[in-house]
Structure 1
């Protein structure tokens, strides 16, 4: 199964080609959270009570990628797909370009002087853009929960979520409420998340993780720990799969460097697997009930 094969020549930076076709639905008296809403291009919705919620990386809806990907998910699944606007002040898309490699070998030939210069430029002129995101982690969870409550109020009853980077950590929290209240989700796909460890053991819904093997935010020690949690969960009978993509860096599935073949392959595989996962847990399950 393919997701959205695209050529490297179509890519501008890490921005996916295409024009979003869904609609922005602003917060109002009946809706707490602004969101992007994608529906199948052929107009055929196979389950009007189920929805996929896509939680973005730190760039939020400031770049078109999550909207374009939501459109593809909607077509592949025949479902409503929503992208909540939970990153209220997203940074400029270029903020990490010179300090976070989009694939492992990108900066391998850069001199020590260039590396130091890039980091100093980031620290003094760009890092401030990330402060609101870092300081508002709990706020992201609150907004993300409200987005699902909006959908419940509109008649949706079953939810799957896919999250990237900060959005991946949000999905972890939604799958594992700290107060032990029922989770809002039936299943979740977590892709190169930020590493909030405290949620993992509480997850008791089908979950699949897609990880980079060279993730600056999620080191080898964390990856080993996640593998152990996955192994224990699987022994207990819970679907809790962990896939590690070789020769990839953080962001490969949301802002891919398509000129790098392993990243392009991982982008395609992770998102295609998310489609198959949601078909199994949201569509096939609904057909059996």
Structure 2
């Protein structure tokens, strides 16, 4: 469920420009630019699924703002932890590079930090989060008129995006260094997916990535085939797309490249 990489990262520079929407279960909204409707774009939106830090870590809001600007659409960040993130901001520490192994001390520290959060993990287990998201999507349907919805998820949100990709709630997904999931969940995916992968990832090792790719490729030529891509970013570890170490130029380059991968995928798979 958790590893030392889940509590590592840096705070991105800048300040959010969107706002919290009480009528949407406290979701953060990064609105489309005022002039975005003049370019003929169809009415679509992105749902941004956070890592375990949730809304309190401003990175998700800053990235949502950038997506809204680059894609010209509304970007929503639902509070699917219901105000109780599974990781506290005060546990955020600078990550190690991919080639630096986690020590026994790292694991001991993680266990000590995780024990007090066990109730929060239970309160936001996948089945509960999925029910909260079902309510959120229903609210979007009732109050908005989006023709298509894409989802991008990071870490815990990546696992959530995998589950959403097997439903009719979204039309496409980007999955960034996901948390735990099963091959059976991969087999149920029925929308196009783009994967931003870390070089070293305890949750998503090369063996599981290759099995996932093989599952998608095995569908080619059948009516179950969905478009897909996997990109692995050298020198990176779990969390780089959401919480990059700003001290390392190559990690920041990978972070930006994964963001551009996300933008390009949504431009490709959502109608414009």
Same fold (TM over 0.5): yes
Q: Deviations over 1:106-161 (max 9, x none)?
A: 558xxxxxx44443333234443255225622111111222221111112231011
Is contact 2:177-2:198 (8 Å) kept? yes
1:160 corresponds in structure 2 to 150
1:222 corresponds in structure 2 to 208
2:189 corresponds in structure 1 to 203
| Structural RMSD (CA) | 2.3
Whole-Å Cα distance in 1 between the matches of residues 92 and 220 of structure 2? 36
Mean Cα displacement is larger for which, 122-131 or 147-156? 122-131
Whole-Å Cα distance in 1 between the matches of residues 255 and 198 of structure 2? 11
Which one has a bigger Cα radius of gyration? 1
Please give the secondary structure, in 1, of the residue aligned with 2:138.
helix
Is contact 1:159-1:186 (8 Å) kept? yes
1:96-135 matches, within 5 Å, as 97=93, 101-106=95-100, 115-129=103-117, 131-133=119-121
Distance verdict in 2 for CA 1:228–1:96, change over 3 Å: farther
Is contact 1:102-1:251 (8 Å) kept? no
Please give the secondary structure, in 1, of the residue aligned with 2:13.
coil
2:10 corresponds in structure 1 to 14
Please give the secondary structure, in 1, of the residue aligned with 2:55.
helix
1:29-178 matches, within 5 Å, as 31=24, 33-45=25-37, 47=41, 49-88=43-82, 89-90=84-85, 91-95=87-91, 97=93, 101-106=95-100, 115-129=103-117, 131-133=119-121, 136-154=125-143, 155-177=145-167
Q: Deviations over 1:67-108 (max 9, x none)?
A: 00110001001101100001231121343648xx44213558
Distance verdict in 2 for CA 1:125–1:191, change over 3 Å: closer
> What is the TM-score of this pair, normalised by structure 2?
0.84
1:276 corresponds in structure 2 to 264
Is contact 1:256-1:267 (8 Å) kept? yes
Whole-Å Cα distance in 2 between the matches of residues 238 and 118 of structure 1? 39
Whole-Å Cα distance in 2 between the matches of residues 234 and 65 of structure 1? 37
Runs of 4+ in 1 over 3 A off after TM superposition: 40-43, 45-48, 105-108, 115-119, 233-237
Distance verdict in 2 for CA 1:231–1:134, change over 3 Å: farther
* Structure 2 unaligned residues grouped into runs of 5+: 1-8
Distance verdict in 2 for CA 1:281–1:223, change over 3 Å: closer
